[in-house]
């Protein structure tokens, strides 16, 4: 069976852990060459060393996606080594939760810089490759916060709503040139960050069980389940899916009340 991502050169941001790591692992298993970007240099280099030891083609890039110059330099380095990019997965992001009027100005700036502007900087850096090749795919990892609001989580949903706007705008702008831009909105996924969140409660097991009971399948999603959706959107199997958002939350977002 032919690898689904053979001949793809994919940039994955926030690749050192969680969903980003799972995306990196399934993409190389499906034949892609990957450039893995993260601001945690030690962790992303460790992951790349592991993938290379298993015979996969991977390159570590260290940059803060909120720094446009650093992003452009990292992309240029990867392009010089492995050629132009065919695919971008904008996965890097950060949780910033505040009560609006109590929020420091810096928290607003940091959230928008990482969760929205960073995705644009990365898209801006690879779009010329895609346009020159006559096609490509950008996949933005959004969130169910992109269309649902939880009090106390401001301004994170503002940025994630914006990311859906970026997805739609770029998808329509470049559709005629063969570039598809889509988003994925995960709900509760069992990442290390979520697992650490349970530990902030007096009874971590009860806190997790409470959330699991709210989810129609009775469990959290797995990072690989998000990653396999990335493979589908990045592959040649989804040529007419564009400017769309696929939700991966076990059906939670369509439940009217508990």
Q: How many domains, the chain?
A: 2
**pLDDT value for 92:** 97
CA-based torsion, 63, 65, 69, 71: positive or negative: positive
Print burial letters for 179-201: b (CB count within 10 Å at least 16), e (below 16).
Answer: bbbbbbbbbbbebeebeebeeee
Residue 254 lies in a domain: no
Residues 158 and 103 in one domain: yes
Low-confidence ranges of the chain (pLDDT < 70): 1
Residues 57 and 173 in one domain: yes
Give CA–CA dist 5/167, Å, rounded: 22
CA dihedral 218, 187, 46, 65 (to 10 degrees): -170
Active-site residue, from 56, 121, 156, 188: 156
**pLDDT value for 1:** 62
Neighbours of 233 (CB within 10 A): 22
pTM over 0.75? The answer is: yes
Residues 70 and 157 in one domain: yes
Residue 2 lies in a domain: no
Residue 166 lies in a domain: yes
Residues 144 and 53 in one domain: yes
- Taking CA atoms, 16 is separated from 50, 143, 211, 244, in Å, by 12, 19, 26, 26
pLDDT digits (tens, 9 = 90+) for 130-178: 999 999 999 999 999 999 999 999 999 999 999 999 999 999 999 999 9
Longest dimension (CA), the chain: 56
Residue 59 lies in domain: 9-186+224-247
What residues form DSSP beta bridges with 155?
Answer: 97
Residues 209 and 97 in one domain: no
HEC string of 179-243 equals EEEEEEEECCECCHHHHHHHCCCCCHHHHHHHHHHHCCCCCCECHHHHHHHHHHHHCCCCCCCCC
**pLDDT value for 2:** 76
Residues 154 and 137 in one domain: yes
Taking phi first (over 0 means left), then psi (-120 to 50 degrees means alpha), and beta for anything else, what does residue 251 get?
left
**pLDDT value for 197:** 85
Residues 132 and 215 in one domain: no
Q: Determine the straight-line distance between the first and last CA of the chain, rounded to whole angstroms.
A: 44
Residues 103 and 84 in one domain: yes
Q: What CATH number corresponds to the domain at position 90?
A: 3.40.50.720
Cis peptide before 155 (omega within 30 of 0): yes
Residues 147 and 171 in one domain: yes
**pLDDT value for 198:** 85
- Active-site annotation holds for 188: no
Number of H helices, E strands in the chain: 9, 9
pLDDT digits (tens, 9 = 90+) for 145-157: 999 999 999 999 9
């Amino acid at each position: 069976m032919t690898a689904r991502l053979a001949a793809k050169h994919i940039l994955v941001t926030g690749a050192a852990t969680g969903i980003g790591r799972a995306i990196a692992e399934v993409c190389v298993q499906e034949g892609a060459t990957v450039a893995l970007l993260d601001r945690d240099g030690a962790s992303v280099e460790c992951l790349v060393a592991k993938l290379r030891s298993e015979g996969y083609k991977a390159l570590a890039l260290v940059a803060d996606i909120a720094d446009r110059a650093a992003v452009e330099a990292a992309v240029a380095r990867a392009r010089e080594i492995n050629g132009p990019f065919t695919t971008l997965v904008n996965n890097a992001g950060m949780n910033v939760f505040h009560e609006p009027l109590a929020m420091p100005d810096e928290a607003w700036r940091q959230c928008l810089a990482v969760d929205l502007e960073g995705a644009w900087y990365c898209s801006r850096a690879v779009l010329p490759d895609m346009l020159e090749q006559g096609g490509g795919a950008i996949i933005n990892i959004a969130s169910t916060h992109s269309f649902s609001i939880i009090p106390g989580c401001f301004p994170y949903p503002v940025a994630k709503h914006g990311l859906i706007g970026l997805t739609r705008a770029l998808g329509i702008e470049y559709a005629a040139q063969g570039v598809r831009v889509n988003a994925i909105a995960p709900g509760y996924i069992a990442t290390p960050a979520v697992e650490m969140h349970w530990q902030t409660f007096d009874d971590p097991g009860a806190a997790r069980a409470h959330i699991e009971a709210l989810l129609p399948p009775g469990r959290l999603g797995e990072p690989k389940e998000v990653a396999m959706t990335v493979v589908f959107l990045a592959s040649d199997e989804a040529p007419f899916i564009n400017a769309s958002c696929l939700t991966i939350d076990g059906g939670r977002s369509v439940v009217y009340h508990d």
